[in-house]
Amino acid sequence: MLDSDFGGSILPAVRFYSKEMLHEFKTQQEGRPIYYMADFVRIEIPGNQFTIIDTFANDTHKKQYPTQWAHYQNEKRDMGEDDISGTLLRDWPLLTAAQTRELKHYHFYTVEQCANASDEQLSKIGMIVGMGNHAFRDRARNYLARAKDSAIVDAQADELRKRDTEIEALKQQMSELMNKGDASRRGKPPKMVDEAVTES
């Protein structure tokens, strides 16, 4: 897609941004929501409210709009949002929305970052979360451990449900086979046993 595709001299408004995306596999594996940050691009045509492109940023977008891409990369680096992956603070029931926003100011975006923070990093946030820094880090670690444990239990429960379903199917098949065997035997005359053979 070229700028000329939008009507010649009208330059589109282009903005690259980060968007949180749910990582389905890791979420199921860990038993808690796991997100990653994906690069998106929003392209709007001045004077045309019906043509808005909002999609994953690909190499074509990056090459077509190198200035906007470079600006976005610099902002991302300044904000410390390069490789954010994990359970977002907003999904942690311990924190309020205000506490989450305050922690973002200190570049804490995920529970994992809080759980792995050094004493020095924690000293900068003060009493934002309403508890001591070490207690806060311990709560983050406990939350992650409990979520991991519940994921294991959920996976085991799923395996047991699958096994029970398979056992029920096998029982049903056995019952059908036994019923067919009984029905086929009822249609035949009983077998005569040779008395001479049985007496010896």
pLDDT given at position 26: 81
Provide the domain count of the chain: 2
Cα–Cα distance for residue pair 98/89, rounded to 1 Å: 11
The answer to whether residue 191 is domain-embedded is no
DSSP string covering the chain? --GGGGTTTPPPEEEEEEEEEE-HHHHHHHTS--EEEEEEEEEEETTEEEEEEEEE--HHHHHHSHHHHHHHHHHHHHHT-TT-EE-BGGG-TTS-HHHHHHHHHTT--BHHHHHT--HHHHHHHTTTTSS-HHHHHHHHHHHHHHHHHHHHHHHHHHHHHHHHHHHHHHHHHHHHHHHHHHHHHHTSPPPPPPHHHHH-
- 74 and 151 housed in the same domain: no
Domain boundary residue, one of 86, 107, 132:
86
147 falls within a domain: yes
69 within domain boundaries: yes
For residue range 136-192, what is the model confidence (pLDDT) as tens digits?
888 888 888 887 766 565 666 677 788 888 888 888 888 888 887 766 666 565 566
- pLDDT at position 187 is 59
160 and 82 within one domain: no
Give the pLDDT confidence score for residue 194 in this predicted structure: 60
Domain residues for the domain of 46 are: 1-86
Same domain as 59, residue 4: yes
- Chain segment 83-141, per-residue pLDDT in tens: 567 788 888 888 888 888 888 878 888 888 888 888 888 887 766 676 777 788 888 88
In terms of domains, do 141 and 54 share one? no
Q: Which of 68, 86, 104 is the last residue of a domain?
A: 86
Average pLDDT for residues 22-50, to the nearest whole number? 84
**Contact predicate 89/104, CB 8 Å:** yes
Query: For residue 112, what are its two tokens?
Result: 């994992």
Q: Please indicate, yes or no, if residue 43 is contained in any of the structural domains.
A: yes
Q: What are the pLDDT digits (tens) for 43-59? A: 998 888 888 999 999 99
The last residue of one of the domains, among 69, 86, 103, is 86
Whether the per-residue pLDDT at 4 is higher than 50: the answer is no
Q: Could you give the CA distance from residue 82 to residue 38 in angstroms, rounded to a whole number?
A: 10
